[in-house]
Structure 1
Amino acid sequence: MFQHATVSPDGKMIAAVYNGKDGPSVVVSPFASRKVAVVARLSKSKDRIDGLTWVNSERIVISASYPKLSYGGYTRVNRMYAVNKDGTDVVLLQDKKAKNRPDWMDVLSTTRIVSLLEKDKKHILIQAYDEKDEGWSVFKVNVYDSDYEKLFVNKYKVSSWYANGDGQVVLGVQYDGNNNKKDTINIWHRTNNNDEWKLLHSRKLYDSTTFTPIKVDGNKAIVLTDHELYRQALWSYDIPSGKFEKVLFSHDKYDVDSALLSPDQSKVIGAVYYDHFRRNHFFDPNENNIHNKVAKIFSQYETSIVDFSLDRSKVLVLAVKDNSPPKYFWLDQQANKAGVWFSKYPHLENKPLANVEAFEFETQDKMLLNGYLTMPNNSDGKPPLIVYPHGGPNARDYQYFDPYVQYFANKGYAVLQVNFRGSTGFGNSYETAGYREWGAKMQSDVYEAVDWLATQNKVDMSKVCFVGASYGGYVALTAAAEKPNDYKCIVSVAGVSDVKALADTAYLMPTLRSFVENTIGHPKVDDDVNNMREISPINYVKNIKAPILLIHGAKDTRVSIKQSRKFFDEAKDADLDIQHIEYEFGTHFLDENDNRLSAFKEIGEFLEKHLN
């Protein structure tokens, strides 16, 4: 119901997204109050609010997006709006010169805030596509009248720009897809707005150290990289010498996920990593003291600081447990008071939700994997099992509250989640072990997790159903074809059925080609193409016996709805027991209210029919 909550710089207000029956709305609330006022409302079903940013204590920038048909598939087109905290003076932040541009350029409209310009509260720096540069340029934008001023010409086809704490654009990341051997990432740098650009660093994708700039501070860059440690860490990079200088933060087991930025986004103040839950590490002892204070006050929860005012006196906290939905708390350090703001899922508060337990097991080839098992409350005997592989596959599961997991458990099912090889967050070797293992070792990891659970004697192994979304849907459909007698039913939400078709589509995007070649296969190399066909469940529908439920959003921009439509056609021709549900405005994540409720209902009824 509530998401993207953020505190105004002066600490007087909280802004958030409210998802109600009328669609997504931006709302504001006085700090420490539960009174809420609507600031802006977007179109129901069509629009999604992706983020909120306070430019100053009076004005908010809304990042939103909608799906648009382009070249036979849907892509997300994003827009930025600015609005006062009282809902007045709404402005679309768009270059007036771009109003008459052709429709096809909408697919290149991705905008991003480069700097909030700490000393200038009327302007921000925005990265937007510029037709003259045939690339992304940086504009100084007035958030009150949408006046655009282009700062410089993008000579090097840079696609991502970064500013230092003073708001000067000093770093650019260029993707070079013209190299016949390996795609290259080039990092361009200058010392200030008046300096010439120089090549700072180059790397071959999937063949050298990762290098993701976060911020520049003087002649140092703070970089997220796997340099030396073979897992992501925050490093200081000395620009004049072109050398990594020192580790700012790393973990001996987990990847650093991201950097923590100051409220004005001008400085890196810490790092984020995940074990079973999110962990924040602050560089400044005073920041850590606030974090420790929060953890002590809300000791019964896993907590993280969502945002705070510029003076750090007003703190917004997100608290969650495995069996309790995430909820926002406020902390006023000056008044020495704290209280609850709103729960993300208020109707699930004080409901008996299931515990999520972590586990580890060793595969036949001696790889140690981890995952989570959720057992339903008050189960009589051994419950049926839902195998629930995550999407991605370059993603991972956590021990956090998950609405799908809790829904299944509430229905009386045990839920098994496994971070199969290829999952992210556990270092390079864990992730790269899954490269080109679609339908192979990544798939067998899930089977072995089921076999491991069978030895625990906790669930009814005669009643097992696979449920997955995106890549998880692929795992589910593949399991149906490979083990037709083992599973009672299959649910695929936005799932992949044809790996070759997926690779072909992704390969049209130059920035995805190295990713496709390294993690799936080359769609133009015969051996790889043959392998993709061999691991595609759409080619084995005649093997399938279990009933199948397909759910897909028509506006999915990640996995084309054609993946489900073609599989459904093949399955009907093979006379399978299959049902296909489409949502007209459905996204990849079914994050629109009506679609999500309908999908839960359909999945629940399908499972009850085949597992009980």
Structure 2
Amino acid sequence: MMQIIRRSVVALALLFGAQALAKTVEPYPLDYWALRDVISNVEISPDGKHVALLKIPTKDGGPIIEVYPANDLEGEPYRINSNPMEIQRFFWLSNDVIGMRLRQKVRDRIEGFNQGVYEYLLASVDIKRKKMKKYDQLGADMENILPDNKNRIIFSYLPGGDDSKISDAFRPRTYYELDLKTGAKTLLLRGKLDMGQVEFDREGDPWLARGFDVAKGDFVWYQRITDRDKWAEFYRQSEDSFEEFTVEGFDNDKRHILFVTANNGHDKVGLWEFNVKSGKFGELIYRRSDVDVSGVRRHSNRWKETDRIAGVIYPERNNVAVEYIDELEMASQRQLEGVIPNAHYVRINSRSRNGSSMTIYNVGPRDPGSYYLLHKGKLTKVGSRQPLLEAEKLADVRYIKYKARDGRMIPAYLTIPAGKPPFPAIVLPHGGPFVSELVLYDEWAQFLANNGYLVLQPQYRGSRGLGLDHYTSAFVDGGQGGYKMQDDKDDGMLYLVDQGLADPDRLAIFGWSYGGYAALVAASRKEQIYQCAIAGAAVSDNQMQVNYYRARLRGAGKEEQLAMWDDSISPVERVEDVNIPLLLIHGSVDQRVPLAHAEKYRKELDRYGKSYKYVELEGADHFSNTLFFDHQKQLYESMISYLHEDCGPQGL
């Protein structure tokens, strides 16, 4: 197993390098940042003859699919539009058929928590016959493209609508096989609570299922590998456990040996073998002492090697690292990294059945996301998510660690503007809060750095991917929201001040969702270090938020969420202590943190005569894919104006 070399915090001279000596970059027009992805989802057909991509051709337009001959990317494409529905993503189903997931706005207001204004459908287009079919099952999700059957796919959906009192993590799905030509669907399996989340192999045979034993409070895993005619239980885990157990796949040569990401009694998640015949863990394949294994890299040829695992994925500083099992896949990866401009996180995102043609995706601090085609030995750039943003005008991202006031080490990402320190600085805590964040390219951080701000993104306690202890430290001794979790953010900013990187008189906080909650908490802290706070889609009332789903919580999830929100500071109860200017931003149809949070908090601000500004994004939900050009321009204009003019006595 690989020896782990621990590195000290990057020294100031290495941290900035030549960029510290660079002249200040003229900020891009805000319109550039407000654009949605111009090009995304670039994939080659199974026969290698066509390349399809998702494109938004105008700033306020909707996505269309363009299909080009692979040997003529300059030619006139075949265009696919789904008006009045919007194409969310697509995937090749055969040489001539493209599958799509569509959405349409069907109401003006949300119908309750997690019940938004969109409905979703599956559809397909035959590019040879130029015919589209829409399938009538609302909320359907692709499960398996059945690579050896060009006319059929497997899809699933959650029956019973969104009124179920059972959390999505427990709810059983129903599975159908769909005939792409006729639209006829055949019921394959109707999930039950005790066994309802099923996976199918490339032949369409169910091989793995997960359910929930209500009487014992256990998650239970089943397999149909040892006997294809019946399910057999092979593992169970108490719902009260915080440990990870995820089946990633099976050994193609010995199918009874599964590959699982699991703690298996350890702080860090590793990749293990698991023998379904004995019901026991086998060999440890890979584990690290610094971070969790985050998953597996599958073989790049999904048509011929659908179920084959090529490597183990883990976060390494501000990139994704892969410990390869498949040497040919590793060799291909290394070659591509050597020829892709500004190579950072490079991966083959689609490949022809014969393996000779492929599309490649790269993303990193100086590349918002670019796609390349390798066809007949020639590498061609297809396009970029944000073609107006030039590499030399984007900011470097560095990985650092600092010590919180109680001694815990906090990893963080630092996005560095052009110029010389000390900089005005903004802490940008991620949402969640119990998620794993890896900063490859972050639009908000790059936008702020482009406007001269040093941006800190701390992996405060509660963040996933850094082991069980770091995760559970946010709630095992009572909710730390507003307490130690908040200290982690402040201590990071004070560390930057101490290092001479940040100006102590020009500090601010901006966050969205839980990050917005953290901004509200910061505004009421008595030991104040910030000049202002910007809170987007912020939870302002802990009890109102957790009551939306309190009845659905069980086990570890219940302890995590209830300890977090019940025992943490509730911003609406601390409005009297607000002592810095505030900018509040909220989407009018936010389903995850409903608008009532902003309304309730503003009433308290008015009652106490506090200084604030409020921006409502009409028609925007909680999530980034509901922020259109006008929303993003309004967001960015309000932020920059506020930071310049209203953040503290002289602005930031």
- For 1:22, the equivalent position in structure 2 comes to 61
Match of 2:532 in 1: 489
Quick one: distance in 2 between partners of 1:496 and 1:457?
A: 33
TM-score normalised over the length of structure 1: 0.87
Secondary structure, counterpart of 2:447 in structure 1: helix
| Alpha-carbon spacing, 1:86–1:465, altered in 2? closer, same or farther (3 Å) | farther
- What is the Cα deviation at residue 468 of structure 1? 0.6
By how many angstroms is 1:453 displaced? Answer: 1.1
Taking every aligned residue pair, what percent have the same amino acid on both sides?
23
Partner of 1:104: none
The 1-side partners of 2:55 and 2:67 are apart by 10
Of residues 562-571 and 13-22 in structure 1, the stretch that sits farther from structure 2 once superposed is 13-22
Letter in 2 for 1:166: E
TM-score normalised to structure 2 length: 0.82
Partner SS for 2:579: coil
Counterpart CA distance in 2 for 1:86 and 1:606 is 52
In the TM superposition, 1:120-519 aligns within 5 A as 120-130=149-159, 135-176=172-213, 178-179=214-215, 183-191=217-225, 195-207=229-241, 209-216=243-250, 218-262=255-299, 263-264=302-303, 265-275=306-316, 276-298=318-340, 300-302=342-344, 303-332=346-375, 335-378=376-419, 382-435=422-475, 436-483=479-526, 485-508=528-551, 510=552, 512-514=553-555, 516-519=557-560
Q: 2:434·2:471 contact (CA, 8 Å) conserved in 1?
A: yes
Aligned counterpart for 2:603 among listed residues 564, 569, 574: 569
CA contact (8 A) 1:65 1:79 kept: yes
- Residue 357 of structure 1 deviates from its aligned partner by 2.2
- In the alignment, the residues of structure 2 paired with residue 28 and residue 319 of structure 1 have an alpha-carbon distance, to the nearest angstrom, of 21
Q: Which residue of 2 aligns with 1:102?
A: none
Matched residues, number: 582
Q: Residue type matched to 2:180 in 1?
A: V
Q: Provide closer, same or farther for how the CA distance between residues 422 and 153 of structure 1 changes in structure 2, counting only shifts above 3 A.
A: closer
SS in 2 for 1:438: coil
1:61 matches 2:96: no
Q: Deviations over 1:192-235 (max 9, x none)?
A: 89612232221113426432223345323332222244323333
Match for residue 640 of structure 2?
604
Q: CA deviation at 1:559?
A: 2.0
Task: Check conservation: 2:64, 2:87, Cα contact below 8 A.
Answer: no
Opposite residue 276 of structure 2, the aligned amino acid is I
Partners in 2 of 1:5 and 1:193 — Cα distance? 39
Q: Which runs of 5+ in 1 are unaligned?
A: 96-108
**What secondary structure, in the 3-state scheme, does the structure 1 residue paired with 2:417 have?**
coil
Contact 2:493 2:502 in 1 (8 A): no
Does structure 1 retain, via aligned residues, the 8 Å contact 2:242–2:556? no
> In structure 1, how many angstroms separate the alpha carbons of the residues matched to 2:588 and 2:636?
17
Q: Secondary structure at the match of 1:256?
A: coil
- Match of residue 2, structure 1, among 39, 45, 50: 39
Note the 1:32-51 alignment, pairs <5 A. Answer: 33=73, 37=77, 39-42=79-82, 47=86, 49=88, 51=89
Q: Which amino acid aligns with 2:64?
A: S
Q: Distance in 2 between matches of 1:399 and 1:228?
A: 29
Question: Quick check: 2:342–2:366 contact (8 Å CA) kept in 1?
Answer: no
Cα distance in 1, alignment partners of residues 178 and 462 from structure 2: 41
Output one character per residue of 1:253-298: Cα deviation in whole Å (capped at 9) or x when no partner. Answer: 3222233334234333333222121223442211111111111223
> Compared with structure 1, are the counterparts of its residues 584 and 551 closer, same or farther at alpha carbon in structure 2 (3 Å cutoff)?
same
Distance 1:375 1:131 in 2: 49
Bigger RCO (CA 8 Å, 6+ sep):
2
Q: Which amino acid aligns with 1:324?
A: D
Q: What secondary structure does 1:90 align onto?
A: strand
Q: How far apart, CA to CA, are the structure 2 residues paired with 1:72 and 1:368?
A: 36
Deviation (angstroms), 1:579: 2.1
SS at match of 1:60: strand
Task: Between 153-162 and 454-463, report the one with greater CA deviation.
Answer: 153-162
Q: Cα deviation per residue 1:469-489 (whole Å; 9 max; x = unaligned)?
A: 111111111000114743221
1:129 to partner: Cα distance: 3.5
| TM-superposed deviation, 1:138 | 1.6
Residue 174 of structure 2 aligns with an amino acid whose one-letter code is S
Post-superposition offset of 1:444: 0.8
Structure 2 unaligned regions, length at least 5: 1-37, 162-170
Contact 1:497 1:536 in 2 (8 A): yes
Given that 2:259 and 2:273 are in contact with CA atoms closer than 8 Å, whether structure 1 keeps it comes out as: yes
8 Å contact kept, 2:516–2:539: yes
Q: Select which of 580, 584, 589 maps to 2:614.
A: 580
Amino acid at match of 2:45: S
Partner of 1:103: none
8 Å contact from structure 1 (residues 516, 522) kept in 2:
no
Distance 1:87 1:350, change over 3 A: farther
Residue identity opposite 2:423 in structure 1 = P
Tell me, in whole angstroms, the C-alpha distance in 2 between the residues paired with 1:87 and 1:602. 48
User: Shift of the alpha carbon at 1:169?
Assistant: 0.7
Counterpart in the other structure of 2:30? none
For the Cα contact (< 8 Å) 2:174–2:190, is it kept in 1? Answer: yes
- Asked if the contact 2:113–2:594 (Cα under 8 Å) also holds between the matched residues in 1, the reply is no
Q: Give per-residue Cα distances to partners, 1:508-560, cap 9 Å, x unaligned.
A: 4x3x544552223269xxxx84x34xx01111111112221111222323222
Q: Comparing 111-120 with 340-349, which one deviates more in the overlay? A: 111-120
CA distance 1:252–1:317, change in 2 (3 Å): farther
